[in-house]
Chain A
Amino acid sequence: MRISPKLIRQARQINNLLPPLLYPNRSLEQAQLELKWITEELPPNQWVQAVKRRSLYEPLQYILGSQPFGDLDILCRPGVLIPRWETEEWVKRLCNSLSGQQYKILDVCTGSGCIPILMDHLLKQRGIDSNIEAFDISPIAVELAQENAKLNQSSISFTQNNLFRVRDLGKYDIIVSNPPYITKDEYATIGKSVKLYEPQLALIGETEFYEALVHNVVIPSECHSFVFELGNQSQADIVQSLLPHWNIGTMKDSQENLRCVIGSKDKSFMTLCN
């Protein structure tokens, strides 16, 4: 919908930098919040440029350079997917449900490294020993993830590896992943700022990533449980069909959207399902 001239006038009266922010934000309240964050986090000589970039739908996280994730800050850079609140939510739920002494965990398609770094942080807080590794196909993602680990005092090892041709896979207890899950059809309808600025490599996937996760990681790593983020039911169904002897369930996020497929050999992870 078109932004009304009245709203633009109203925004200009509050602050001259506000009208351009109406386009990506659609509401005055949200535009004001973003302007507040821009002026709080960037030096004054960068404000005009930041507002201009944002008005062209560039994600605020690329402009400010970070995204809060749990109580951590994750660096964000073009070419790597920005962490989402839905991911933060299931990672917190998962960590709260773990009660063992020690876990060996692998994160596949790690991107910025937000999942393993937050898990490491939360498990440490709960006094649980963990040994976490992660990989991604993109070298710029691996580099950013390593920077993020350093920034958050985490000793996770990040390597470059291809899910479809995995090399040197170890043994793990738990596998987690947020693979690309937007189908080609859905891609046409996604948020403008995602489509224009975030990497397709981290976004587009049908069911091939879930098939590869099962065949190339879950089975050979001999893990007992996994949590994979997803976007539609057929992705959960394929996992279920490939692992007929496992307990498989799904989890909705707090917006009531289907968000994860969860599997475990015993029933330990099934409390996460809803």
Chain B
Amino acid sequence: MIRGIRLNIGGLVRHYAIPKKNKLPPRPTWLINEEDIEEKFIKGGSGPGGQKINKTNSKVQLKHIPTGIVVTNQSSRSQETNRKRAREILAEKIQFLQDPENSRLAVVTDRKVKVKQSKSKKAARKYKKLAEEKEEPDSNFEETVDIEGDFFTK
């Protein structure tokens, strides 16, 4: 896991702050008012139910009436977990709408971009270094001949 890059430039240590994954702003679940949301459980079409069929999915759809935002979640087999997760996603979207700059969604998106950038920078550095090493090969290593090995293969 990459936790920010330290660059030592002329004795000064500079931090490119990528927030740690456990130091992100909290999920703004306090923005959810149960009276403002319309909850639906989507079971995939009509038809027989009960003992006649055995479904594995339990999709939850939330509609936030004041803003019209609709979110769905079906990532878990458990409806209770999906309900909780859908509320978290909805809360993040509401916060983003109210205060885009300081919202958790913005911080998380920004973090993703930074992590990706630092990964590609690191990769670029690695391949640059490898390319440099290839250009000036280790002479000692090249000239080592395994005489015994040679003998046995013949």
Chain A residues at the B interface, C-beta cutoff of 8 Å: 30, 33-34, 36-37, 59-61, 67-68, 70-71, 81-82, 84-88, 178, 180-182, 186, 189-191, 193-194, 198, 202-203, 229, 231, 253-257, 259
Q: Which residues on the B side are within 8 Å of A37 (C-beta)?
A: 56, 77
* Cα of A259 to Cα of B46 in the assembled complex, Å: 14
| Interfacial residues of chain B within 20-60, with CB under 8 A of chain A in the complex | 41, 43-44, 46, 48-58
Q: Which of B97-133 contact A (CB under 8 A)?
A: none
Cβ of B57: which chain A residues have Cβ within 8 Å of it? Answer: 30, 33
> What 7 A-B pairs come out closest when comparing CB atoms?
A68-B78, A191-B53, A190-B52, A71-B80, A60-B56, A257-B49, A86-B50
How many chain B residues touch A (Cβ–Cβ < 8 Å)? 23
A85, A190, A198, A253: which contacts B79 (Cβ < 8 A)? A85
Task: Pick the contact of B54: A33, A59, A71, A253 (CB < 8 A).
Answer: A59
Residue pair B80, A68 in contact (C-beta under 8 Å)? yes
Inter-subunit contact B50/A257 (CB<8 Å): yes
Residues of A within 8 A of B55 (CB): 84-85
| Best-buried of B44, B51, B78 by chain A (most CB within 10 Å) | B51
Contacting pair A194 B74 (CB below 8 A): no
> Closest CB of chain A to B96's CB: distance in Å?
26
Instruction: Say whether B79 contacts A182, CB under 8 Å.
Output: no
Question: A253 and B48: CB pair below 8 A?
Answer: no
Residues on B with C-beta less than 8 A from A70 are: 80
B81 neighbours in A (Cβ, 8 Å):
68
Closest CB in chain A relative to B46 CB, distance in Å: 6
Residue of B with least CB distance to A259: B50
**Are A182 and B52 touching (Cβ within 8 A)?**
yes
Identify B56's interface contact among A34, A190, A254, CB under 8 A: A34
Cross-chain contact of B78 among A30, A59, A71, A193 (Cβ < 8 A): A71
A-B contact pairs, 30 of them (CB 8 A): A30-B44, A30-B56, A34-B56, A59-B56, A61-B56, A68-B76, A68-B81, A70-B80, A81-B51, A82-B54, A84-B49, A84-B55, A85-B58, A85-B79, A86-B49, A87-B50, A178-B51, A180-B51, A182-B52, A189-B52, A190-B51, A193-B54, A194-B53, A229-B50, A231-B50, A231-B52, A253-B50, A255-B49, A256-B46, A257-B48
* Min C-beta distance of B81 to chain A, whole Å: 7
B63-101 residues at the A interface, CB under 8 angstroms: 74-81
Identity of the chain A residue whose Cβ is nearest the Cβ of B83 in the assembled complex = A71
A29 to B80, CA, bound (A): 20
Q: Among A68, A186, A193, which residue has its beta carbon within 8 angstroms of that of B77? A: A68
**From B43, which residue of chain A is reached at the shortest CB distance?**
A255
- Cα distance A86–B79 when bound, in Å? 12
Q: A71-B78, A71-B80, A231-B52 are in contact. List 8 more A-B contacts (CB 8 A).
A: A84-B50, A88-B79, A180-B51, A190-B51, A191-B53, A194-B52, A194-B54, A253-B49
Q: Which of A59, A85, A193 is the most central at the interface, judged by chain B CB atoms within 10 Å of its CB?
A: A85
